[in-house]
Structures are given as structure tokens and as C-alpha cells.
Amino acid sequence: MDYLDGLNPSQRAAVEQTEGPVMIVAGAGSGKTRVITYRVAHLIRKGVDPFNILVLTFTNKAAKEMRERIMKVVGTEAKNIWMGTFHSVFAKLLRVEAQKIGYPNNFTIYDTDDSKSLIRSILKEQQLDDKLYNANFVYNRISSSKNNLISPAEYLQNEHIQAEDFSSGRGKMGEIYQTYAQRCYKAGAMDFDDLLYKTNVLLREHPDVLYKYQNKFKYLMVDEYQDTNFSQYLIVKKLAANNENICVVGDDAQSIYAFRGANIQNILNFEKDYPDLKVFKLEQNYRSTQNIVNVANSIIANNKNQLKKSVFSENETGDKIKVSRAFSDNEEGKIVAESIAQEQALKGSKYKDFAILYRTNAQSRAMEESLRKLNVPYKIYGGLSFYQRKEIKDLIAYFRLTFNPNDEEAIKRVINYPRRGIGDTTIEKIIIAADQQNLTLWEIITNAHQYLDARSASAVGNFALMIQSFQVMTKTHSAYDTALHIAQHSTILKDLYSDKSIEGLSRYENIQELLNGIKEFSEREDLEEKGLDVFMQDVALLTNDDNDKNPNADTVSLMTIHSAKGLEFDNVFVVGLEENLFPSQMSLSSRIDLEEERRLFYVAITRAGKKLNLSYATSRYRWGTLTSCEPSRFIDEIDASYLELDFKPQLKGSGNPFFDDERSAWQQKETFSRPKPAPPQKTTSILPKAHVPSADFAPSDTSGLQVGMEVEHERFGFGKVINLEGSKPDVKATIFFKDLGQKQLLLKFAKLKIVK
């Protein structure tokens, strides 16, 4: 039991409570992963068969890390645990049971691009306006329906849904959904949402299968339970119904995925499903300084909808949280980049210890430009992952066809790539014939002489023979040998090698890297099945958090806060803290939405270990227009005793009418009343608003401007001219602005109003 000695009392109690329903409320940085892994190890040490344990996570990376930790305690037995993401675990289950719901066991898994490509084909065939029926919108609508377990038939029969579609001018949505589902079924394909939707169908329609897995999975553990949607919730509830040995781990304060179906009520109401529930709270934060933890607590205290906990830290008190104000998003980027460069130079910090977090991807531009100017290396996460690159998807499409020739999207992708004389007209004829004859595209292709002219039929027939030869090879060769053969004989390698451009060389190297990955996969000792089909399933189920994250690269990390969840850095910059940006404009009409935005801010804060920096701009270009910005209400909710402002705040009653605080009306014009600050001892922070020009503001003729004159600038406010230099038309004025300090402006562009 020595592995239990390193746990604190709360952690140990949660690990040792192995029977019955358990909820572990794990605050940020509280050692959640350690508790999950030790709890599983403890079950095995107590004699539970690893085959009877199911552990569900949200990323493959998390599952891999947990399995490795468990192996250190119990040895190779950990290989037998059913552990992985919801999608990977239930894809594995469906590989065994899919025929019961009419799918082949070798069904293809469509990624988001495949799904949207099929949707675009359906929209084109039905001659629908692709602006009204945007493929992204349609995909999200179908995804949401599946996550709420609404079938195409139920969608078409639901009066509320139909009324909503018709009122928005999208009355054909139900038919599109139905056609999409039929086409996937015909192609022997499931999309990501189907992996959970079809599992629910399987468990609902086949009680014998449900009984089988209820008895198999005697112990269930679910990580990040606050992120589960209705479909995931129902699967877990059904599987746990017999034994009720279910343990869910999560933090309601980090529930930030409502936009993709996550329902915070799953964790808030967990006790209603299990009245005998035992709750354990992990409240000690091992990651962050006391100041950072205190700031996070003061923010989340404003949310009404939460499980109460008292997170604390016994780490050093740490620096106060710096708040920076910039006059524009470009200046904000400059402030952040200079801070990173200075910290790295003075203290020898590694660049990988820094992260810049923002609300929207568009905010990365100003950060990137400033980092480049200072030669600070950086990496943006959330960009195009390795497996989403065209050349990689092309070769994988050949792999998919080899195992499932009915895969419609794979056929359309590579039937004429590399070029083999099968033009768009021929492809269109194949699609039409398949539709008319109610056959798959592959059935038409393998009987091309019946449906196409002799020349086209010959080219299509050769393509079919090539795919069939690949199918034969899979039965006698390793994953790597098969993959290399397909890459060579499809002529993809030759096509890319002949492109001598830098881009062509890069694409060729990417294919080589994919083949290297397959070779490494083929030689893994911890896998029983090493076929190319198994490799493809692993690739198809990669989550965003598993892609392109090299922890050893010494680069500053730039990412949205949603992408940062689960990560930690010594130094974190949270930028763009402005009303209508963070919190977002869409969140301001609802308390529930605003509370999710506040949870998102809480997640951003708790990524930081040693230093946290917050910043906002008083003006920002949005949709091509320079817009004045107000500091986010979230800054105002932080106890000011934990903050360090790197500018002088505007204080009411300062004696200077130009600089008295004039807090703008946005504080009083919220659509609902703001929660009262929790602790009575809280000190209110006073943040300056952007300068509002005088009612009669108009730029003056500055040809007679003299030192000592007082002026007004439309953004920088009021100031005094302290120096003039240069000759017309390039006269430069040095002006001291009371709150902002000294600035040098070119008069011909400055647009100053002379006050006196």
C-alpha cells in the first residue's frame, strides 16, 4: 500500500472508497490524475480483474498517461483495462457489435472534413442554397441532434424543431439529415457523433448486449464528467445501472464546453441519480501560488450555479497579478512580447514556460507580429494538425478504401488522384448511376462497363483492380509493408516527389513521416493487433488535444482558452479582457451564458503556476472599424489587494477635472443584476475607461501649436505639450498625458484639439 502514502487525506479517502457511487470534485491543480490512477491501481490490488474496469477520458493523451502511471503500480495487468476516450472505447465496442445494428464490423469513421464533404454533395444534389444551408451550420445541427439522441425520423416529426427550421428558411434540414444518415449507412461509415449515438441505439434495442457489458464493466470511472453531453451521460448511466460502482471526477468550475453539447447539470445533479452518493472534494491546489488561487476563488465566487468548495494553496504567496492596459491590440501584443523577452533574458526562463491565452483565434495576429519582431519563437495550437493535411488525408483515403470499398467520401477523394483520366463528368455519371440503381459507388465502379463508355470504363476498371490488389496484400503483409506498397502503387509518392517546390518537398516529407509512424506502430510490443486498419482507427479517433503538441519544443504557446484546458505553464498572459470580447457579446443576455464565460476565465487563471498577467486594450479594430473598448467586468470582480496595475488608475476626487474617474454606464446597463461581491473585506479595483472625446471635439489647426499648450486627443485624452521638433510638414510634438505619460506624435496625423 506504499503508493497511498504520498496522498493527502482527501485524496486517499477518495482512492479507498471503491464501492458504490462516488463523485470526486477536483479543483484545478489538485492532483486529479493521481487520484484516478491510484484508485484504478487500488481496485486491481484488491483483486478486481482489469478486464472488468472501464475508464473513460476526453483525450487519448490523458488515457495514455494514466495507463502508464497504473502500470508503475500494478505492472503489465494495466494493459487489460478498458481505458480511453468515449469515442475510442465505444468504437472498439461497436467493432464487435456493429452487425447487430446493420453496420459492417470494418465500418469507416468519418472525420469532420469527411462529414462536411458529404453534406456539401447532398446540398449540391438537392440544389439548395449553400449560403442558407451552410455546410458548417448543417453539420452542427446534425451533430447537436445526435448528441441529444434525436433520430432523422424524430427530427422530421418534432413540431418545435420543424417550426424553428421553417421560420429560419431552412425547411429542408430534416430531409438533409435523413439523406446524410442514409448515405453514411450505405457507405458503411459512422461519423464521430455516431460512435456514441449508435452505441445508445445498440444498448437500447439489444438488451442482451446491454446486459453483457453491464456485467463486463463492474467498475466505471469517468474523467472530466462536467464535460459530458446527454448521449455520454445516458451510456454511462445504463452501463452502471446494475452494479452502481461508478466514480465520476470533475470540476463544475471548469465546465466550458456548452457550445458542443456539454451539460453542466450532469455533475451538478449527479446526486439525484445516486442518492447513496459519497462526495470527496480535492481542494488543495499544488500548481499555483497563493495569490493566483485567491484570484481564481474571488472570480468563481460570483457564479450562483456551482458546487461549493474552498480551494487553497500552501505554495509561496507569489507575485501579485499584473494588469496591463494598452491603447490598441497591437500595443497589447508589444507589451506581452516585451514582457516575455525581458523575463527570458533576465531570469533565463525557457520560452515553453510561457503561454498567451485569448478568447478567439483572431486575437493571435497582434501577438504573433510582436513576437516575430523580437525574434521570440512561438507555436500556435489549434491550427492545422498533421493528420488534417491534404497529402496525409489522400493516402489515408486509399487505406480506408482498402478496408471498406463502400466508403463514398474516400472514393470521391482519390478516384482521380493522382490523375488517371477519370474526369468530373465520369464521376458524376457514377454517382447518378448509384443513386438510380440504389447501389453503392463501389458496385458501380466494379461493373463500370455496364454504366460508362468504353474509355471511361477502362480507366475506372483499372482503379478498381488497383484497390482490389491492395485488399489482397493486407492479408499477408504487415501494416508498414502494406502502407508503403499503397503509397508507391497509387503513385502518390511519385506525384509528390516530382514536385520540386518547397511545398512539394514538405508534402513528400509528410508522407514519409506518416510511413515512419506506421512502422513505429507495427513494432510496438504493447499491442496485440497491429494491422493497418487498427492504425487507421487510432488516427481517426485522435482528439484535438492529441495533435501536434511537442512538450519539448522551446516555444511560447499561443492558444484559445478552450484549447488550454488541462495544460499548465509557469507564466500565463490572458489577453483581450474587454467587454463584448471576454465576456463575449453573445454571453451578456443570459446569466447561464455569462457564468460559463466566467468559468472560462477561471480556467485561464488556473493554468498559471507562478505568474499571471492580465491585459486589455482601450481600442481594437473589429470588422475593419476602430472601436473603443471597456475593461472586462471580470477584472473588476477580482479583489484589488491581489492586483498590481502597471498604469496609474483614475481616482475619483483627484482634484483634476480632466482625470476624475467617470466610470461609464456599461456597469449599470447590464441585462440582469450583477452578483454582489462575496467577501465584505473585498477591495474594489478602479480601472480606467477609454477616453471619451468631449461633446464638441473637433481637431484644431495645429500650425500655431506652442510648448505649454493644453490639448485633447480623441483616444489619449488631455495633455500638455512639452516639446516641438522638426519642420513642416513633419513636426513632432512630445505631449505629456496625465494618465498615460509621455508620447511623441506626428502633428499632421495626431488630430489634436487645442484646449488652451
Confidence of residue 507 (pLDDT cuts 50, 70, 90): confident
Given this model, what pLDDT does residue 625 score? Answer: 63
Given this model, what pLDDT does residue 396 score? Answer: 93
Beta bridge pairs of residue 734 = 723, 744
For residues 379-393, give the mean pLDDT.
77
For residues 585-596, give the mean pLDDT.
86
**Which amino acid belongs to residue 635?**
I
CA 379 distance to own-chain centroid:
16
Give tens-digit pLDDT for 554-567: 899 999 999 898 89
Does the annotation list 26 as a binding residue? yes
Q: Answer yes or no: is pLDDT of 649 > 90.
A: no
Measure the CA–CA gap between 387 and 207, rounded to whole angstroms.
38
Q: Are 233 and 263 in contact (CB under 8 A)?
A: yes
Q: How far is CA 539 from CA 532, 536, 566, in A?
A: 11, 5, 21
Does the annotation list 33 as a binding residue? yes
More confident residue, 729 or 33: 33
Q: Answer yes or no: is pLDDT of 138 > 60.
A: yes
| 498-521 core/surface letters (b: 16 or more CB in 10 A; e: else) | eeeeeeeeebbebbeebbebbeeb
- Residue identified by cell 475607461 is 689
Does the annotation list 684 as a binding residue? no
Conformation bin of residue 227: beta by default, left when phi > 0, alpha when psi is -120 to 50: alpha
Given this model, what pLDDT does residue 74 score? Answer: 87
User: End-to-end CA distance of the chain, in Å?
Assistant: 80
**Which amino acid belongs to residue 573?**
F
Give tens-digit pLDDT for 53-112: 999 998 888 888 888 889 888 888 888 899 999 999 999 999 999 999 999 998 999 988
Given this model, what pLDDT does residue 340 score? Answer: 93
487: CB partners within 8 A, 6+ apart: 395, 398, 493, 511, 515
- Cell triple for residue 629? 473598448
Does the annotation list 741 as a binding residue? no
Given this model, what pLDDT does residue 693 score? Answer: 76
Active-site residue identified among 17, 18, 33, 555 = 33
Please confirm, yes or no, whether 661 is among the known catalytic residues: no
Q: Are 358 and 576 in contact (CB under 8 A)?
A: yes
Given this model, what pLDDT does residue 314 score? Answer: 93
Whether the CA torsion 564, 568, 574, 579 is positive or negative: it is: positive
Please confirm, yes or no, whether 32 is among the known catalytic residues: yes
Please confirm, yes or no, whether 223 is among the known catalytic residues: yes
Measure the CA–CA gap between 207 and 189, rounded to whole angstroms.
24
Task: Give the pTM.
Answer: 0.74
- Residue identified by cell 507495427 is 522
Given this model, what pLDDT does residue 283 score? Answer: 94
Confidence of residue 651 (pLDDT cuts 50, 70, 90): very low
Q: Which of 300-314, 368-382, 512-526, 639-653 has the lowest mean pLDDT?
A: 639-653
Q: How far is CA 5 from CA 1, 30, 31, 175, in A?
A: 7, 16, 14, 60
Helix runs in 404-501, H state only: 408-414, 424-437, 441-445, 454-474, 479-489, 492-497
State the helix-helix crossing angle for 135-147 and 112-125, rounded to 10 degrees: 120
**Which amino acid belongs to residue 317?**
T
Helix (H) or strand (E) holding 233: helix 230-240
Confidence of residue 282 (pLDDT cuts 50, 70, 90): very high
Question: Which letter does DSSP use for residue 529 in this model?
Answer: -
HSE of 648, CA atoms in CB hemisphere, 13 A: 11
586: CB partners within 8 A, 6+ apart: 593
731: CB partners within 8 A, 6+ apart: 705, 724, 725, 746, 747, 748
Given this model, what pLDDT does residue 44 score? Answer: 92
Across the chain, what does the average pLDDT equal? 86
Give tens-digit pLDDT for 659-717: 223 223 223 323 333 333 344 344 444 454 556 678 788 889 888 899 999 999 877 78
Q: Answer yes or no: is pLDDT of 602 > 70.
A: yes
Measure the CA–CA gap between 205 and 198, rounded to whole angstroms.
10
Helix (H) and strand (E) counts in the chain = 30, 22
- Residue identified by cell 488515457 is 63
3-state secondary structure 273-305: HCCCCEEEEECECCCCCHHHHHHHHHHHCCCCC
SS3 189: strand
Active-site residue identified among 223, 227, 252, 596 = 223
State the helix-helix crossing angle for 32-45 and 9-16, rounded to 10 degrees: 40
Give tens-digit pLDDT for 453-504: 999 999 999 999 999 999 999 988 888 899 999 999 999 999 888 887 767 7
Measure the CA–CA gap between 372 and 59, rounded to whole angstroms.
32
Percent of the chain with pLDDT over 70: 90
More confident residue, 321 or 1: 321
Q: Answer yes or no: is pLDDT of 120 > 50.
A: yes
- Cell triple for residue 521? 506502430
Cβ burial, residue 63 (10 Å; 0-12/13-18/19+)? buried
Please confirm, yes or no, whether 33 is among the known catalytic residues: yes
Give tens-digit pLDDT for 193-203: 999 999 999 99
Among 728, 736, 714, smallest CA distance to 746 is for 728
Q: Answer yes or no: is pLDDT of 607 > 90.
A: yes
For residues 293-303, give the mean pLDDT.
94
Does the annotation list 566 as a binding residue? no
Does the annotation list 27 as a binding residue? yes
Q: How many CB atoms lie within 10 A of CB 681?
A: 7
Please confirm, yes or no, whether 317 is among the known catalytic residues: no
Does the annotation list 100 as a binding residue? no
Percent of the chain with pLDDT over 90: 57
SS3 637: coil
Given this model, what pLDDT does residue 728 score? Answer: 80
For residues 531-553, give the mean pLDDT.
69
Q: Are 400 and 412 in contact (CB under 8 A)?
A: no
Confidence of residue 185 (pLDDT cuts 50, 70, 90): very high
Given this model, what pLDDT does residue 79 score? Answer: 86
- Residue identified by cell 478486464 is 51
Given this model, what pLDDT does residue 281 score? Answer: 94
Active-site residue identified among 97, 114, 194, 224 = 224
Measure the CA–CA gap between 35 and 45, rounded to whole angstroms.
15
Given this model, what pLDDT does residue 526 score? Answer: 65
Does the annotation list 59 as a binding residue? no
Measure the CA–CA gap between 499 and 40, rounded to whole angstroms.
52
Measure the CA–CA gap between 103 and 120, rounded to whole angstroms.
24
For residues 161-179, give the mean pLDDT.
93
Given this model, what pLDDT does residue 218 score? Answer: 95
Domains in the chain: ranges and CATH:
9-99+198-282 (3.40.50.300), 108-187 (1.10.10), 313-385+546-645 (3.40.50.300), 390-541 (1.10.486.10), 687-755 (2.30.30.30)
**Which amino acid belongs to residue 287?**
R
Helix (H) or strand (E) holding 138: helix 135-147
Please confirm, yes or no, whether 585 is among the known catalytic residues: no
For residues 123-152, give the mean pLDDT.
90
Given this model, what pLDDT does residue 29 score? Answer: 92
Given this model, what pLDDT does residue 659 score? Answer: 24
Whether the CA torsion 143, 145, 151, 155 is positive or negative: it is: negative
Backbone phi and psi for residue 4, each to the nearest 5 degrees, phi listed first: -85, -15
State the helix-helix crossing angle for 364-373 and 329-347, rounded to 10 degrees: 50
Measure the CA–CA gap between 542 and 534, rounded to whole angstroms.
13
Given this model, what pLDDT does residue 21 score? Answer: 95
Q: Which of 465-479, 601-615, 735-749 has the highest mean pLDDT?
A: 601-615
> Between vectors from CA 168 to CA 163 and to CA 170, what angle results, nearest 5°?
85
